[in-house]
A and B are shown apart, each in its own frame.
Chain A
Amino acid sequence: MATLSSSSDTLKYRKPNALQGGRAFVLLALLLVLVALGSSVIGSYSLSSRDWWNVLTAPLESGTPGIVLLQIRLPRLLACILVGSGLALAGSSYQGLFNNPMVSPDILGASAGAGLGAAVGILFGFNIVAIQALSFAGGLLAVLLTWALASGLCRRGDPVLMLVLVGILIGSLFTALISLTKYLADPLNKLPVITFWLLGSFASITTKDVRLAIIPIAVGCIPLLLLRWRLNVLCMGEQEARTLGLNTGVLRFIVIVCATLITAASVSMCGMVGWIGLVVPHLARLVVGPNHKILLPTAAVMGGCFLLLVDDVARTVGALEIPVGVLTALIGAPFFLFLLMRERGSEA
């Protein structure tokens, strides 16, 4: 750019607007810490901030409050943050990848596949590790099927649209197989377990569950965070991204595998908690804009906050716990409608 160099002396580097996004991210991260601390002391067994102090200073003498905090509340909080952040991150990545703000982690059939794997595991009375492994296998199988079928069908035409359509197809196929599993399950003991697990709940989360899920969720999140700026370029569409120098096939593969790993790990830990991967990225985009460089971390933090708050409601509102998957759908669907109407309004 020989002609352009002369202007560089006069041109001052100006701060990009991303800094505002950075500030929003820091505030939201602080909010997440506050919400987590608040969530730890509310619930059916009431606690105060002094109990936290006692647990931290003298963990062995803290008695019942210590057990509630460390063995019940803490794993539950961590699970909420892991699943909320992970699903929001996966959702933002899918939306960037498919260049479509209307898709979510469920779109490739990942949730349904993971759900089927776990349901089969429960049906055959496997232990928890085997159930989680089956859930992974189911989720990845569904995605690989979608991926293979879509690329097989799509010699010409829009690869993104084809992937979404095949994803819906595979998703409903696996949902039908879940129904078949439930139909075959013993109605007295297996069926209730499968049904409640599929509804999505954090009620029976243990430290062991969190330890089992943290590795796949982290393994999925790290590449997405490292590659997040490149998702911007993918938003320009397949061909344009290639002319901009991206190896789109490899990038798409990595993003899909990572986002699916996160989804499968979440589903196998706490069942099908929907809507987070759809609603939270929208919310994050309203706050920091569409640049994935700042959008992904922001969505992750917001997803953790969102699920913590929803779980607080789930366990405090009634005498019985409401399944968190039911609540996310009850909150998510109208909220998403509101977002859609807002977007339409701003366009007009």
Chain B
Amino acid sequence: MRCGSSTRCSISASSRWAERWPRLAVALVLLAGHGRALAAEPVLEHAPRVASYQLDAKLDESAHRVHGHGSIELYNYTAATLHELYLHLYMNAFKNDQSLFLRSPFGAGRSGGHGGKWGYIDVKRLYAAQMETDLWPNRSAKSPGDPDDETDVRVPLPVPLEPGHTLKLDVAFEVQLPEIVERTGFKQSYHFVAQWFPKLAQLLPDGSFNHFSFHPQSEFAADFGSYDVTLDVPERDVVGATGRCEPLPSPGVGRRALRCRAEDVHDFAWTSWPDFVETRAQVGSVDVRVLTPPNHASNAATELEIVRFGLSHFGERFGAYPYPTLTVVHPPDAAADSGGMEYPTLITTGGAWFAPFTGARDVEAVTIHELGHQWFYGLFASDEHRFPFLDEGLNSYAEHSGLAQRFGTGSAYSGFGLRVSNEALSRAIAAARGADEPIAQGAGDFFSFRSVGAIVYGRTASLMSTLERVYGKPQLDLALHDYADHARFRHPEPRDLIEAVRGRLGDAAARNLERALFERASVDYLVRDVQSVPRDPHAGVFDESSGRRTVPRSEPRPPAHFAGHAIVLRHGALEFPVDIELCFEDGHCEKRSWDGSGTDYTLSVDSTSQLVSVTVDPTQRVLLDDDLTNNAAGTHERGSPRAFERLFYYAELLLGGGLP
């Protein structure tokens, strides 16, 4: 056996880890990790090791199968005795149309359609040496409460696993890869192998498991550990994988082997394809590999440039990227469904070879988005199933602000005199669904994947941008830094984010955040009843000591006085302080501030020029505002000469047919 040597490697890795992480410390960190305040917690240098894997995988490239075996270790860090464990067999989501994944309305999922070939995993053995039992025959074949699904399997333990003890399981399995669907599978000679091994469900501090069937709207949750994976692939294949890979002696004619090791991670994915072109660069301490199809040199350069920017940008905001490697995989066009996904130390992107020449920034956007996941999904390991907004939502905000810093206000589109940012685009998508559902809920609880897109990705990003714009970017950056310090390797909860915001932005901001996350709270500022009437303060009937005096209106009027009046309203439960801009006929404008408390704010203004317009939140700080078009009202309408000019021109072109 090669590093079958695996046993020796495992022991050796264990020893190294034990030096860093005494088991008591693991328990303390994880048990203290729930429902605590953020103050005075050390930033973790390494993850607590709970679930570790040593696996050997052989790819049968013609049958598109993976033959795997190895060992899994589960450390019971809880105070509870474990009588069972749960394994995720995600690959069974693609086994038949009865799985939860495929029987769900597929249009609501992340990918575009069913794969062309079925995929599944057959576990052959799950042997617990210390119990001298193969646990697999006694497992529940179906997911709990779902007789048609086989992605969430309960395995009873004949001998309970006591607190502080480790269970080692020898496992053997075979995976039939589906044709590319939902980020995994094969296309001709290209293989992207993700969610491919029997994976322990996340062990929670109360001794229960965070187990769930694979839902098309959901991603994943898992414990940290170490991964030591040997890959046996065709000799001509170029391999990308989680962790650092080193070549091993050839296992046979026409074959090559690699041993890939990663610590402080919670998943392992890999890809194998003979036609990958590798671009390599050292970015700080990180060895970056970009694997692209042939003819994608421009995409490789773009992705490398974004990775350079992102590692530094995200590192400053959310803590340094701690791993020695990062692999960027750009799938071939025909296997694009395996793109746009994140795995520990490995991300997938996408885009046609000519994408950089179109002026669109899709490749940049997907690269920075997936890179951001290295923090929110990878390092923090938030629960993507229960609270997807902690990963996708916060990461979308990070993506937008990163793109804005890199490309300015035209980060999504720039041309024909228009500059549109990703943030504005995302806000518009989110606003279309408004507060249909709470942000902070499970992925499977959303009405559809469109809701997930609008609310988890878009509305969370708008919420965070609103906090940034209203309370100040430096303060929010500090709050997110606190959150990141705390969340690193600790599986954060929504409460951790709220407390971090409270600590730096104050109670009002935290209250808004909590309401927006959990209570579907929304806000809409609007202006009504702008009036401005001339007033002559000297005219009228006055009772004085000398008797009643009647003063006629002066004609012509002296320097006119106007009494201005407007009502600013706030609909919804969120209360953000806003500016109100009052503009007058002579061209000058004044600014008032409203703390947003109460439901309305009455403006009265005496001026020498007529009040012509009132705008609440004129700089769009509150991106959560349900309707930005009702934020202004005036005494008269100004028309839309610019819009008319463009529409007029386009209509002329339409009538002319373009060509001479």
Q: Do A and B come from one complex?
A: no
**B-contacting residues of A (Cβ < 8 Å)?**
none
**A-contacting residues of B (Cβ < 8 Å)?**
none
